[in-house]
C-alpha cells in the first residue's frame, strides 16, 4: 500500500472491541504510519470528515444512528471522493455485496480479518476508487466532447436539440414561447480562402464570444459546424423579443474582429422560428429557422427574417424544381430560343442571343429566371450551361453552312461556369466539335462574374479573347458598374440593362445615365447594345445617342430556332 495515499483512516465503528482490534492491527504495520480517526456514530463521522483530511473510510454497517445500505449512502454523501470499505458480520455478506453496488469499493467480514487481509482490502479499495474516478472522468470527457463543438467549446447540434426539447417542456408548463435563431455568416468562406483556416478558426471563436455576450444565462448559443450558429432564446414572451435579440446579435457580429493583426469585418444572416407558432419540436423549429435564414440571405444578407409557412412552400417548390431539373437534360425538356440583335445603323440582324427555355412535363414553360438561380445553387448550371453552349454553337454552324448571315451568336454564361478553371478550354472544345468560328461566338457575362474575380477569371477572359471569342458585359448598370472592372477584365461590348431603356424620355435621370454609358463605352472602344427596347420612342432615343445595337420586343421576342431561321431566310434574301 502506498503510505502517502493512506495517511489517515477513519473507522466508523460503534463496537469498542472491534475498534481496539483495528487500532492494534494498524500499530503492527511497522514502518507505515497510518493515523486512525475513530467515530462511533455516522453523525460524528460526518463532523470528522469535515474537519480532517481523511484518505479512506472503514464503515461498520450497524451504527446506532444508521444501519445497512443507508449507512453506505450517508458515508458516500459525506465523502464522495474517498474510498470506502464496509465492515460487516458473517451473516451480512449479502448486504455487503449490495454496498458495493452503492459505491463501496470493498468489504471486510469481521472476525475473519488479519493485518495482511486488512491492508490488502484497503490497498484494493484505494486502487479501485482511483480507477473508478478515472473511468468516470473519462466518461464525463467523452460525454462533453460528444455534445460540444471542438473549436469553440459551445454546445453542438446534439446538446442543442436536448436544450430545445427541455425549453419546450418548460414553455408548455409556463405557457411561454421560445425562439430559435439560425445564423449563417456572410462571406466567411472568403476569409478562410484568403487568410487561411487558422485565421478563420480564430474568427469563429471571436464570433462565439460575441454571441455569448449577447444572450442571457438561460439561453443557449451553439455551433452547428462551419459558419453556422444557432441561438436558443428560451422564455420569450413575444416574437418582438426575439427580433430585439436578433438585432443585437447581428450588430455584435458585424463589429470589427481583430484577428492575427487583421481587422476582419463579417456579417451574419439569421432566420427565426418561434415555439409553438412554427413547430412543436426541435427538428421542425430548426428546419424552419434555417429556411427563414435562407430568405434573409436572399433579401441581401446582414438581416434576419421570421419564418412564414409560405417559405416552406417555396422551399418545397425549390426542391421539386431541382429534382426535375436533374432529369430535364436527359429527357430533352430544355430548348433554346433566339432573340435577334439589330444593327441600329442598317436596321439588319447583327446577332442572336440564345435564351434557354424549359418545357416542364406538368408545369408547362418555366421561365429561366425561376430555374437558373436554382441550377446555379446546386451547380447543375455546369451541365446545363455546357448543353446551351453546344446547342447554340451547333445552331450557329447550321445557319453558317446554310449561308444565312446571323452575325454573332450570344450565349449567357453564369458565374459558376466561368469560375471553372478549364472553362476556356471547354468552350474551345465545344466550338471545335461544332466546327464554329470562335469569332462568331459572344459570351455574355454579368458584372457579378467579374466581381467574384477568382484566380481563373482573368486567364479565362484573356484566353477566350485571344482566340477571337467576343465578350459582352450583360445587364450593365444594375451591379457596381465599376469602370475598374473594365480595366482589369477587358470586354468587347456593353449591354445596357433594360430597366434603363424602359420608358426612357429625353429628360430625366435615365436619359443622362444612358447617354453617359454610351459615351463612356465608345471612349473605351466598346460596342453598346440597348436591351429591352419595346417602343419606337425608346428606339429613337438610343439611336439619337449613337447606340450601336438594339434588342427587345420592339424588334422581336425570343423565337424558336425554326422561326428564327425563317426570319434569317427573309432578311438574307433582301
**Considering only 27-35, 63-71, 198-206, 547-555, which stretch makes contact with ligand LFPHGCPZ by CB under 6 A?**
547-555
Q: 104 near 84, Cβ under 8 Å?
A: yes
Binder to ligand LFPHGCPZ among 270, 271, 532, 550 (CB under 6 A)? 532
Binder to ligand LFPHGCPZ among 92, 106, 531, 549 (CB under 6 A)? 531
Binder to ligand LFPHGCPZ among 324, 493, 558, 565 (CB under 6 A)? 558
**Considering only 86-94, 208-216, 423-431, 531-539, which stretch makes contact with ligand LFPHGCPZ by CB under 6 A?**
531-539
Dihedral pair phi/psi, residue 181, rounded to 5°:
-110, 110
* Radius of gyration (C-alpha) of the chain in whole angstroms: 39
Long-range contacts (CB closer than 8 Å, 24 or more residues apart) made by 500-508:
501/530, 501/531, 501/532, 501/533, 501/534, 501/538, 501/542, 501/552, 502/532, 502/534, 502/538, 503/538, 504/537, 504/538, 504/541, 504/542, 505/537, 505/541, 506/541
* Residue 433, all three cell numbers: 466539335
CB of 171 to ligand LFPHGCPZ, least distance (A): 45
CA angle 357, 363, 365 (to 5 degrees): 20
Give the residue at shortest CB distance from ligand LFPHGCPZ. Answer: 552
Nearer to ligand LFPHGCPZ, 184 or 475 (CB): 475
The per-residue DSSP string of 107-152 comes to: EEETTS--HHHHHHHHHHHHHHHHHHHHHHHHHHHHHHHHHB-TTT
Give 460-488 as a 3 state SS string: HHHHHHHCCCEEEEEEECCCCCCHHHHHH
Residue 460: C-alpha distances to residues 194, 377, 445 (Å): 21, 22, 12
Binder to ligand LFPHGCPZ among 92, 324, 474, 548 (CB under 6 A)? 474
User: Which residues between 495 and 514 bind ligand LFPHGCPZ (CB under 6 A)?
Assistant: 498
d(CA 218, CA 12): 43
Binder to ligand LFPHGCPZ among 32, 165, 516, 553 (CB under 6 A)? 553
User: Which residues between 407 and 466 bind ligand LFPHGCPZ (CB under 6 A)?
Assistant: 412, 414, 444
Question: What is the number of alpha carbons within 13 Å of residue 158 lying toward its C-beta?
Answer: 7
Instruction: Determine the size of the site formed for ligand LFPHGCPZ (CB under 6 A).
Output: 24
Nearer to ligand LFPHGCPZ, 271 or 552 (CB): 552
Nearer to ligand LFPHGCPZ, 191 or 389 (CB): 389
Binder to ligand LFPHGCPZ among 534, 535, 543, 546 (CB under 6 A)? 534
CB of 500 to ligand LFPHGCPZ, least distance (A): 12
Using alpha carbons, select from 305, 393, 348 the residue that is nearest to residue 555. Answer: 348
CA angle 399, 405, 407 (to 5 degrees): 100
CB of 389 to ligand LFPHGCPZ, least distance (A): 8
DSSP 8-state assignment for residue 98? H
d(CA 172, CA 175): 5
CB of 502 to ligand LFPHGCPZ, least distance (A): 8
Per-residue contact flags (x/-) with ligand LFPHGCPZ for residues 106 to 135, judged by CB under 6 A: ------------------------------
Containing H/E element for 216?
A: none
CB of 384 to ligand LFPHGCPZ, least distance (A): 7
Per-residue contact flags (x/-) with ligand LFPHGCPZ for residues 291 to 310, judged by CB under 6 A: --------------------
The per-residue DSSP string of 421-470 comes to: TTHHHHHHHHHHHHT--GGGEEEEEEHHHHHH--TTHHHHHHHHHHTT-E
CB of 479 to ligand LFPHGCPZ, least distance (A): 12
CB of 458 to ligand LFPHGCPZ, least distance (A): 20
Nearer to ligand LFPHGCPZ, 200 or 558 (CB): 558
User: Which residues between 332 and 391 bind ligand LFPHGCPZ (CB under 6 A)?
Assistant: 339, 353, 355-356, 367-369, 372, 385, 388
Q: 356 near 336, Cβ under 8 Å?
A: yes
Cell 421561365 sits at which residue?
367
Per-residue contact flags (x/-) with ligand LFPHGCPZ for residues 18 to 37, judged by CB under 6 A: --------------------
**Considering only 46-54, 133-141, 448-456, 527-535, which stretch makes contact with ligand LFPHGCPZ by CB under 6 A?**
527-535
Nearer to ligand LFPHGCPZ, 314 or 337 (CB): 337
* Residue 53, all three cell numbers: 483530511
Using alpha carbons, select from 120, 126, 106 the residue that is nearest to residue 4. Answer: 126
Cell 500499530 sits at which residue?
27
List interacting residues with ligand LFPHGCPZ (CB under 6 A): 339, 353, 355-356, 367-369, 372, 385, 388, 412, 414, 444, 474-475, 498, 531-534, 551-553, 558
Amino acid at each position: 500500500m502506498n503510505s502517502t495515499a493512506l495517511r489517515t483512516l477513519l473507522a466508523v465503528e460503534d463496537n469498542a472491541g472491534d475498534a481496539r482490534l483495528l487500532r492494534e492491527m494498524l500499530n503492527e504495520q511497522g514502518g507505515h504510519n497510518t493515523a486512525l480517526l475513530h467515530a462511533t456514530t455516522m453523525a460524528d463521522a460526518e463532523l470528522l470528515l469535515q474537519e480532517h483530511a481523511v484518505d479512506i473510510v472503514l464503515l461498520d454497517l450497524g451504527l446506532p444512528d444508521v444501519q445497512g445500505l443507508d449507512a453506505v449512502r450517508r458515508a458516500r454523501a459525506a465523502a464522495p471522493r474517498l474510498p470506502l470499505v464496509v465492515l460487516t458480520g458473517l451473516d451480512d455478506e449479502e448486504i455487503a455485496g449490495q454496498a458495493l453496488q452503492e459505491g463501496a469499493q470493498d468489504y471486510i467480514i469481521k472476525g475473519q480479518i488479519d493485518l495482511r487481509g486488512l491492508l490488502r482490502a484497503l490497498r484494493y479499495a484505494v486502487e479501485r476508487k482511483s480507477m473508478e474516478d478515472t473511468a468516470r472522468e473519462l466518461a464525463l470527457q467523452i460525454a462533453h466532447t460528444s455534445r460540444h463543438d471542438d473549436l469553440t467549446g459551445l454546445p453542438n447540434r446534439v446538446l442543442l436539440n436536448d436544450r430545445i426539447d427541455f425549453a419546450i417542456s418548460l414553455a408548455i408548463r409556463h405557457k411561454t414561447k421560445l425562439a430559435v435563431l439560425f445564423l449563417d455568416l456572410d462571406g466567411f468562406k472568403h476569409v478562410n480562402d484568403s487568410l487561411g483556416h487558422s485565421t478563420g478558426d480564430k474568427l469563429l471563436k471571436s464570433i462565439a464570444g460575441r454571441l455569448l455576450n449577447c444572450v442571457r444565462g438561460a439561453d443557449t448559443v451553439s455551433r452547428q459546424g462551419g459558419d453556422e450558429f444557432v441561438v436558443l432564446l428560451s422564455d420569450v414572451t413575444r416574437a418582438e423579443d426575439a427580433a430585439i435579440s436578433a438585432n443585437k446579435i447581428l450588430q455584435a457580429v458585424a463589429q470589427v474582429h481583430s484577428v492575427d493583426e487583421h481587422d476582419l469585418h463579417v456579417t451574419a444572416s439569421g432566420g427565426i422560428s418561434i415555439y409553438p407558432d412554427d413547430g412543436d419540436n426541435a427538428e421542425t423549429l430548426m428546419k424552419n429557422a434555417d429556411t427563414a435564414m435562407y430568405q434573409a440571405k436572399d433579401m441581401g444578407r446582414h438581416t434576419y427574417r421570421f419564418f412564414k409557412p409560405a417559405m416552406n412552400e417555396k422551399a418545397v417548390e425549390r426542391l421539386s424544381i431541382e429534382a426535375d431539373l436533374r432529369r430535364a437534360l436527359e429527357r430533352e425538356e430544355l430548348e433554346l430560343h433566339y432573340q435577334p440583335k439589330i444593327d441600329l445603323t442598317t436596321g439588319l440582324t447583327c446577332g442572336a442571343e440564345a435564351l434557354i427555355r424549359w418545357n416542364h412535363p406538368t408545369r408547362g414553360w418555366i421561365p429561366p429566371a425561376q430555374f437558373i438561380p436554382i441550377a446555379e445553387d446546386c451547380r447543375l448550371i455546369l451541365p446545363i450551361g455546357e448543353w446551351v453552349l453546344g446547342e447554340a454553337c451547333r445552331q450557329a454552324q447550321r445557319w453558317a453552312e446554310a449561308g444565312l448571315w446571323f452575325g454573332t451568336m450570344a450565349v449567357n454564361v453564369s458565374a459558376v461556369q466561368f469560375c471553372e478553371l478549364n472553362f476556356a478550354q471547354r468552350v474551345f472544345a465545344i466550338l471545335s466539335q461544332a466546327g464554329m468560328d470562335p469569332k462568331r461566338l459572344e459570351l455574355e457575362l454579368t458584372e457579378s462574374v467579374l466581381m467574384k474575380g477568382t484566380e481563373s477569371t482573368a486567364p479565362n477572359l484573356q484566353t477566350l479573347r485571344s482566340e477571337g471569342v467576343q465578350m459582352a458585359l450583360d445587364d450593365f448598370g444594375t451591379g457596381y458598374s465599376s469602370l475598374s472592372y473594365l480595366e482589369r477584365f477587358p470586354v468587347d461590348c456593353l449591354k445596357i440593362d433594360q430597366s434603363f431603356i424602359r420608358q426612357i424620355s429625353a429628360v430625366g435621370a435615365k436619359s443622362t445615365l444612358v447617354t453617359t454609358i454610351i459615351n463612356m463605352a465608345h471612349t473605351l472602344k466598346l460596342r453598346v447594345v440597348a436591351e429591352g427596347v419595346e417602343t419606337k420612342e425608346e428606339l429613337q432615343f438610343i439611336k439619337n445617342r449613337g447606340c450601336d445595337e438594339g434588342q427587345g420586343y420592339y424588334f422581336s421576342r425570343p423565337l424558336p430556332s425554326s422561326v428564327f431561321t425563317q426570319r434569317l431566310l427573309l432578311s438574307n434574301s433582301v
